[in-house]
Amino acid sequence: MKKVFVGLSGGVDSAVSVTLLQKDGYDVTGVFIKAWTPEGYPCSWKEDRRSAMKVAAILNIPFITLDLEKEYKKEVVDYMIDEYRQGRTPNPDVMCNKEIKFGHFLKFALKNGADFVATGHYARMPPMSDVGNRCKRRTLGNQLLEGIDKNKDQSYFLWTLTQEQLKHILFPIGHLQKSEVRKLAGKFGLPQETRKDSQGLCFLGKINMKEFLARYIPQKRGDVLDLDGEIIGHHNGALFFTIGERHGFTITQKTESEVPLYVIAKNVEKNLITVSSKQELRHFGRSSNLSQEISIKDINLIGKIPNKNLSCRIRYRQEKIKCKIQIKDGQTRVIFDQPQIGISPGQSLVLYDGEICLGGGIID
């Protein structure tokens, strides 16, 4: 019997994951990861832990609470705040997976006799394409595939995984649709069947990001500009915005239409943001806001880059963009087949060959 430590968050995805693994004959232990909670925000971890414990009790499996509060604060929250201070747009969910779930949790599990860790991520690894095949040898190698449910696919957040880590990871529900997961929870008699999905950042949940960041970064009033450089409103700090965002700034001058306006550029030094509607940008074709190519750093490759049919995502749930990779003078550049808008330094660019996630890097 292979021993698996399963990250039990208290939600339906991890609850069904641990049940499937037990039914497959694994020796399963449930592990609840306790992360840092900001002062003054709702403390939900106790309720989440109780929900996770119920699953362990129903399945009659060992249950462990792994306290990673200090690690989460330092390696996820502090990283996020520092990136915003530098005018970049971080991806805390990627860092949470890298440092917490498949960093400290994986090391803890292996140190304590586990062969694998498992989570409720919507991602796959061949030939783990159905419930009964999870024990088979991975004849296709340690590939990371998109989840079957394209609305829930989380491969974008897993690009930092390495071949060595993938040897010890299971994704039990990646072959399922979300609706099927909930049905299985009901079939197995799990109370999580009707529990709402968690929203927002990994472990932190749904928080007002600007309000949270204002605790650590002073607000400073600045101007909102249109495509012609005219002042049409104000904001409380260019540092707080990410490219593509459409909330948090105030428009004081009437625009020709009431369509949503998106942040398309920001100047942290001058504390300015530029906004535009999608229609307006397409109409004027402002090349200064479009990027044909970008450079990436901190690259991690899971698989070999193909000579053709390479694509990427520069944000979660985005349609894949056809692209090419060029390495010159030690710099890696990604060249898009079509110019792109909304490039955010600090965000993740994730590479794909069809449904295979090949890894990625940080937009420089």
Ordered DSSP codes for 224-248: EE-TTS-EEEEES-GGG--TT--SS
**How would you classify the pairing of strands 63-67 and 250-251?**
unpaired
DSSP state of 198: P
d(CA 279, CA 284): 9
* Chain center to CA of 179: 21
The three-class DSSP label of residue 63 is strand
* 43 is an active site residue: no
H-run or E-run covering 171: none
DSSP state of 64: E
Count CB atoms within 10 A of the CB of residue 107: 11
Q: Exposure pattern of 54-76 as b/e (b: 16+ CB <10 Å)?
A: bbbeebebebeebebeebbeebb
d(CA 68, CA 50): 18
Catalytic residue among 96, 312, 323, 357: 96
DSSP state of 73: I
DSSP H helices, 60-91, are 69-72, 78-85
Catalytic residue among 43, 202, 312, 357: 202
Say how many CA atoms lie within 13 Å of 330 toward its Cβ.
Answer: 0
Task: Return the structure tokens found at 222.
Answer: 């600045």
* 96 is an active site residue: yes
Catalytic residues: 96, 202
